[in-house]
Amino acid sequence: MAITAPTPTADVVYEKPSRLAKLRESLAILFSSRVAVIGLSLVLFWVVMAIFADNCILHLNSCLTDNSRQSTPWLARYSPLEQFRGANNEGPSAAHWLGTDRNGRDLYARLVHGARPVLALAPISVLIALIIGGTLGVVAGYYGGLTDEVIMRGLDAMMAFPLILLYLVIIAALGASATNIVIAITLGGLPGIARLVRGLTLDIKTRDYVAAAETRGESAAYIMLVEILPNARGPIMVDAMLRIGYAIFAIGTLGFLGLGLPPPSPDWGSMVSSGMRYIQAGHPWDALWGSLAIASIVVGLNLLADGLNEESNRYR
């Protein structure tokens, strides 16, 4: 009886998924959640409105440097600073879809243009806080000991101040401007981000791949940047989305208290503040549209973060 020699089998080669494949997988996770899709739709609505309010997207450099430049309205129809005589405190109409304010300015134009500072300042503030707070958190969690104690006790001292009080102190001391709003929100978000990253670092640094990197003699910076932070990006990204929503709410609160962008800049918080005094006079539109704008984008970011977190947990 002849014995057949076994056929040699080729080694199975596992290819690393490409960036396009990873992007498709991430989009699949995103669109598999109905909650995340609803949240993304709300956020994209305001992003599109802010970008295409006028033709500044075609002349970005001149729009940023020349305050006297008159932009051509697109989605906004009018300039947010244009005043219409005899049209003070009017309700919604064909000429002014959402009505006018006490100065005869179109509320729809001010609402759409007001989305620009909100969608610019909030992500910038969170990004800066994420970079600084994430660095402090990963260093404190990885090294531990005295380094951890010094960093975390300093951050605990910052957390002792209520956020609104901290914002008020910073803005009152530095003045109301876009830069100072970013500084205030950044400092307010630092402790929470650092504590989150520290907790994730304490968990991840006990994993086998971190021990293997230490055995290979990799530097501490390499381990923190390559082994720890990339494996903590999921919770950090979800937390960042939530914090952008909190930052938008904070910007609206500062505008409501008169510490937001200086007038006559379109500001959702100042719209609500100035419109409250006219509610009993039968003109609720300023306060109504400003409140709905803040609420819709904050809810959208929260839904997006919740949906992504829920779907990500299923694939773990």
Arithmetic mean of pLDDT, 57-76? 74
User: Rounded to an integer, what distance in angstroms lies between the CA atom of residue 134 and that of residue 150?
Assistant: 16
Confidence of residue 54 (pLDDT cuts 50, 70, 90): confident
Note the pLDDT tens digit of each residue in 277-299.
899 888 999 999 999 999 999 99
**10 has a pLDDT exceeding 60:** no
pLDDT at 311: 62
CB within 8 Å of 156: residues ≥ 6 apart: 191
Arithmetic mean of pLDDT, 91-107? 92
pLDDT at 30: 74
**69 has a pLDDT exceeding 80:** no
User: Rounded to an integer, what distance in angstroms lies between the CA atom of residue 263 and that of residue 257?
Assistant: 13
**76 has a pLDDT exceeding 90:** no
Confirm if 152 and 79 have CB atoms less than 8 A apart: no
Confirm if 238 and 229 have CB atoms less than 8 A apart: no
Per DSSP, helices labelled H in 103-207 are 107-143, 145-159, 163-174, 178-204
pLDDT at 176: 86
CB within 8 Å of 124: residues ≥ 6 apart: 182
Nearest Cα residue to 131 out of 182, 80, 171: 182
Bridge partners of 247, per DSSP, are none
Confidence of residue 228 (pLDDT cuts 50, 70, 90): very high
Bridge partners of 100, per DSSP, are 106
Mean pLDDT rounded to a whole number for the chain: 87
pLDDT at 21: 76
pLDDT at 4: 56
Arithmetic mean of pLDDT, 5-34? 66
Question: Can you say whether the dihedral through the CA atoms of 281, 283, 288, 289 is positive or negative?
Answer: negative
Query: What percentage of the chain reaches a pLDDT higher than 90?
Result: 55
The residue behind tokens 């779907």 is: 311
Arithmetic mean of pLDDT, 22-47? 84
CATH superfamily ID and name for 31-56+95-314: MetI-like (1.10.3720.10)
Which region among 67-81, 146-160, 186-200 has the lowest average model confidence (pLDDT)?
67-81
Task: Tell me how crowded residue 35 is: count the other CB atoms within 10 A of its CB.
Answer: 17
Arithmetic mean of pLDDT, 160-173? 87
pLDDT at 290: 94
Which region among 20-24, 48-52, 285-289, 299-303 has the lowest average model confidence (pLDDT)?
20-24
**221 has a pLDDT exceeding 90:** yes
**197 has a pLDDT exceeding 90:** yes
Arithmetic mean of pLDDT, 20-24? 74
C-alpha separations of 81 from 90, 113, 182, 307 in Å: 16, 10, 24, 38
Confidence of residue 101 (pLDDT cuts 50, 70, 90): very high
